[in-house]
Amino acid sequence: MKTTTMGTDFLTLIEDTQLLSAKQLAEYRTAQAQNVPATELATRLIRDRMLTPFQAKVLLKGKPQNFFLTTKYKILDHLGTGGMGRVYLCEHLILERLVAVKILTVNGATGAGATTGQGLIERFYREARAVAALDHRNIIRVFDVEQTRGAPFMVMEYVDGIDLDKYVSVHGPLESNRAAEYVRQAAEGLEHAHQAGLIHRDIKPSNFLLDRAGGIRLLDLGLARFLVDSRRNQGVTELYDANVILGTVDYMAPEQAIDSSQVDIRADIYSLGCTLYFLLTGKVVFESEAFTQKMLAHQMRDPIPIRQRRPEVPAGLEAVAKLMMAKKPENRIQTPGEVAEALREFAVPAPGLPDTARMPKVSARSFRLGLCPAPTAIRSVGSSGSMQITPKNGLRAGSSGAISVSADDTLADERETLSEPAEVEEDVEEETEIRPRAGVGIWLVVGALLLAVIVAGVFWPSGAPPVAVVPPPEVKPTPKPPQPVKPPASAVVVSLADAASKIGERVTVQYTVGSIGGKVNVYLNSNKEFTAKDNFAVVLSPKVQVGKWEKPTPEQFVGKTIRATGVIKMNKDIPQLDLLNPQDLEIVN
């Protein structure tokens, strides 16, 4: 790529972009400028606050770029790249104020075909509608939605601060009162969204911004959903994401992994509890686990207690976090307002302002506004409506395009600008949508589907498969009389008492049937009472109800001892065995 090396060429390029006028550049056009390296002039212009480090870095590539979105917004810095697009810090040229602008990158959509791109556009507009429906001190505000060269963009409130994920990752866990206060504020913002009928569905530390006054702002409602007024959702999830798990696995509620479109505000409360856990410990609830293991852990395991990691945390605060992270929605604190009230007593004494040393060194005051009027014309630079060159040091993976200036990112850009320019690469965030990455292989896809089936058994009623799993068409095998077979070598014979510890394993069980039930699936229960907690059931799905098991009756099974081989799963705290073949069931006596 061509690079501007001489000062005169660099100044001409700046003038061509309309960032600065010839009059403003006059003092930099000296006789010596012809022999001055472009990087030296860039250093001077940055020091004089005539250019931002981001602008200088892009211009040093020697290629004209468009820094203007319509005639109202001038790009000052690149704040981050997320699954839906890029976020820039911009100047509103008429009002001379800082705003954050999120530009949808349709061309960067992953997936198969135009439907995915349309889904991104619809979700982008749904985010705008969601935020526009809210007006609260703890939620980022949206000012406008426009288009530039066919790409929609959203103009939002700019927060001079840092996201909580980065704050804790760099500086360590928070004091108990500070963590309680920040999550209390977050809960108040969520309560406002809840009252407006919204569910966020992607609550996590990187989606909360901490400003210099100690205020918390909730952002990134790209996955938000209207709970009551479904018309305003426009069917986005059902049309485009019916088979996609939406959310961030480290903070995702168990039921959200089953069907993202059916969760309520209690899923956000679970995620907020995981956020509180992270702020207090500096750790996610389940560490060093593969993706599938994390999903299962959220379904079945309890995290390491907070006070085991940090004994100084009040026991009452730990208890609140534990309630927020209960596996079953009905066992959690039920509303964000109740969460805020529960945390209030632990947010004293008031934590005060954030430590200045821990906040970004580059503040809003670093940017000089009013340097140029609106451009006389907008150049067309690419079809996406976004900058074609983005800084190498954007937000790290796992963040959400946070609307804040990162000192490390911006200063790193400046250091890179003032040395030999390196090839600029785009720093793309791990997608909020959880999709298999290209090239991972078919086994990851198959494994994810199998995981979804196992996880679904925990929360879903029998006979009602989750939306997130699309089973292949069932083809009933030709009826054959079952042949008694010995358990395969891969199956372990276990007692019913041990079955609950063999989740996901193929085993053989033997017991006397106490009752039979079910309309679609047939349940061979070990107890007379199907709902008993110590019950065990062998499940005959329609595909194994063939031959002698085609119309099973109580007389056929009740009081008989059966031997069955299959895979163990949990259904509402009741262990059960799913048969794969009719030959795997036999009546012993």
Q: Where are the alpha helices (DSSP H) in 314-362?
A: 315-324, 336-344
pLDDT of 550 strictly over 80 = yes
Query: Which of 29, 69, 70, 74 shows the shortest CA–CA distance to 54?
Result: 74
pLDDT of 455 strictly over 50 = no
Average pLDDT over residues 266-272: 93
Question: Comparing 327 with 397, which gets the higher pLDDT?
Answer: 327
pLDDT of 317 strictly over 70 = yes
Catalytic residue among 202, 250, 409, 413: 202
Is residue 175 within 8 A of residue 281, CB to CB? The reply is no
- What pLDDT does residue 31 have? 58
- What pLDDT does residue 64 have? 72
Planar angle of CA 292, 294, 296, nearest 5 degrees: 70
Share of the chain above pLDDT 70, in %: 69
Residue 490 per-residue DSSP state: T
Q: Which residues contact 197 (CB under 8 A, 6 or more apart)?
A: 226, 227, 228, 229
Q: Does 202 qualify as catalytic in the annotation?
A: yes
Residue 531: band (very low, low, confident or very high) from pLDDT cuts 50, 70, 90 = low
Element (H, E) at 117: helix 114-132
| Exposure b/e, 365-377, CB count within 10 A at least 16 = b | ebbebebbeebee
- Mean pLDDT (the chain) is 74
Least confident of 31-45, 161-175, 207-221: 31-45
Cite the residue boundaries of each domain of the chain with CATH code 1.10.510.10: 116-144+160-356
Question: Comparing 446 with 258, which gets the higher pLDDT?
Answer: 258
Question: Comparing 524 with 280, which gets the higher pLDDT?
Answer: 280
- What pLDDT does residue 289 have? 64
- What pLDDT does residue 437 have? 36
Residue 440 per-residue DSSP state: S
Looking at CATH, the fold of the domain delimited by 116-144+160-356 is given as Transferase(Phosphotransferase); domain 1 (1.10.510)
Q: What is the CATH number of domain 492-587?
A: 2.40.50.140
Alpha carbon of 231 to those of 29, 89, 228: distances in Å? 59, 33, 9
Whether the full predicted model's pTM is greater than 0.75, yes or no, is: no
Cite the residue boundaries of each domain of the chain with CATH code 2.40.50.140: 492-587
In 10 A of CB 554, how many CB atoms?
11
- What pLDDT does residue 208 have? 93
pLDDT of 377 strictly over 70 = no
pLDDT of 524 strictly over 60 = yes
Average pLDDT over residues 358-378: 79
Is residue 298 within 8 A of residue 286, CB to CB? The reply is yes
Q: What are phi and psi of 209, to 5 degrees?
A: -100, 135
Q: What is the pLDDT of residues 412-443, one digit of tens each?
A: 333 333 332 333 333 333 333 333 333 333 34
Q: What is the pLDDT of residues 339-356, one digit of tens each?
A: 999 999 999 898 989 988
Q: What is the pLDDT of residues 223-253, one digit of tens each?
A: 545 443 443 434 333 333 444 556 788 898 8
Least confident of 1-15, 449-463, 497-511, 538-552: 449-463
pLDDT of 23 strictly over 50 = yes
Alpha carbon of 282 to those of 51, 159, 166, 306, 540: distances in Å? 37, 23, 11, 10, 46
Least confident of 90-104, 355-369, 522-536: 522-536
Average pLDDT over residues 386-393: 34
Least confident of 276-280, 322-326, 374-378: 374-378
Q: Helix (H, G, I), strand (E, B), or coil: what is residue 160?
A: coil
